[in-house]
A and B are shown apart, each in its own frame.
Chain A
Amino acid sequence: MTINNLHLVTILLMALATYATRVIGYAALSNRTLSARTRAVLDAAPACVLLAVIAPAFVAPKPADVIALAITVVAATRLPMIATVTVAMVASASLRWLTG
Chain B
Amino acid sequence: MTTTSLPADDGAITHGSEARRAFKIAWPVLIALIPMALVLGAQAAQKGLSTIEVTLMTALNYAGGSEFAAVGLWTSPLPVALIVGMTFLVNSRHLLMGAALAPYIHHLPKRIVYPVLFFMVDESWALGLADARRRAAAGIEPSFSLTFYATLGALFWFTWFVFATVGALIGPTVGDLGRWGFELVFPAIFLVLVRGMWTTARAARPWLVSLLTAAIIHLTIPGAWYVPAGAVAGLAAAWFWADAQ
What residues of A have a CB within 8 angstroms of the CB of B189 in the complex? 81, 84-85
A56 touches B238 (CB 8 A): no
B158 within 8 A of A: no
What separation, in Å, do the CA atoms of A50 and B118 have in the docked complex?
Answer: 19
What residues of B have a CB within 8 angstroms of the CB of A40 in the complex? 238-239, 241-242, 245
B40 within 8 A of A: no
CB-CB nearest 4 A-B residue pairs: A52-B230, A25-B98, A48-B234, A55-B214
B221 within 8 A of A: no
Minimum CB–CB distance from B46 to chain A (whole Å) comes to: 15
CB contacts under 8 Å to B, within A48-82, are 48-59, 65, 68-69, 72-73, 75-77, 79-82
Minimum CB–CB distance from B161 to chain A (whole Å) comes to: 12
B100 touches A11 (CB 8 A): no
Per-residue CB contact flags for chain A residues 13-29 toward chain B (1 = under 8 Å, else 0) read 11101111111111111
Per-residue CB contact flags for chain B residues 113-136 toward chain A (1 = under 8 Å, else 0) read 110011010100110011000000
A80 touches B2 (CB 8 A): yes
Minimum CB–CB distance from B94 to chain A (whole Å) comes to: 4
What residues of B have a CB within 8 angstroms of the CB of A94 in the complex? 181
B179 touches A41 (CB 8 A): no
A51 touches B53 (CB 8 A): no
What residues of A have a CB within 8 angstroms of the CB of B8 in the complex? none
A3 touches B52 (CB 8 A): yes
Minimum CB–CB distance from A5 to chain B (whole Å) comes to: 11
What separation, in Å, do the CA atoms of A44 and B198 have in the docked complex?
Answer: 10
Minimum CB–CB distance from B97 to chain A (whole Å) comes to: 6
Give the most central of A24, A26, A75, A92: most B CB within 10 Å: A26
What separation, in Å, do the CA atoms of A10 and B122 have in the docked complex?
Answer: 23
Per-residue CB contact flags for chain B residues 175-213 toward chain A (1 = under 8 Å, else 0) read 000111111111111111111010000011011011101
Query: Which residue in chain A gives the minimum CB-CB distance to B211?
Result: A51
Query: Which residue in chain A gives the minimum CB-CB distance to B80?
Result: A10
Q: A53-B65, A88-B181 are in contact. Are A48 and B215 (CB under 8 A)?
A: no
Interface residues in chain A, defined as those with a beta carbon under 8 Å from any beta carbon in chain B: 1-4, 6-15, 17-31, 34, 36-37, 40-59, 65, 68-69, 72-73, 75-77, 79-82, 84-85, 87-94, 96
Q: Which of A3, A29, A52, A96 contacts B181 (CB 8 A)?
A: A96
What separation, in Å, do the CA atoms of A28 and B100 have in the docked complex?
Answer: 11
B235 within 8 A of A: yes
B184 touches A52 (CB 8 A): no
One of B11-19, B82-90, B139-147 at the interface: B82-90
Query: Which residue in chain A gives the minimum CB-CB distance to B194?
Result: A47
Q: Which of B28, B180, B242 contacts A93 (CB 8 A)?
A: B180
Q: A11-B56, A59-B215, A81-B3 are in contact. Are A28 and B206 (CB under 8 A)?
A: no
B42 within 8 A of A: no
What residues of B have a CB within 8 angstroms of the CB of A88 in the complex? 181, 184-185, 187-188
Minimum CB–CB distance from B172 to chain A (whole Å) comes to: 19
What residues of B have a CB within 8 angstroms of the CB of A93 in the complex? 179-181
A24 touches B98 (CB 8 A): yes
Q: A25-B96, A46-B97, A69-B184 are in contact. Are A53 and B227 (CB under 8 A)?
A: yes
Q: Which of B66, B178, B188 contacts A85 (CB 8 A)?
A: B188
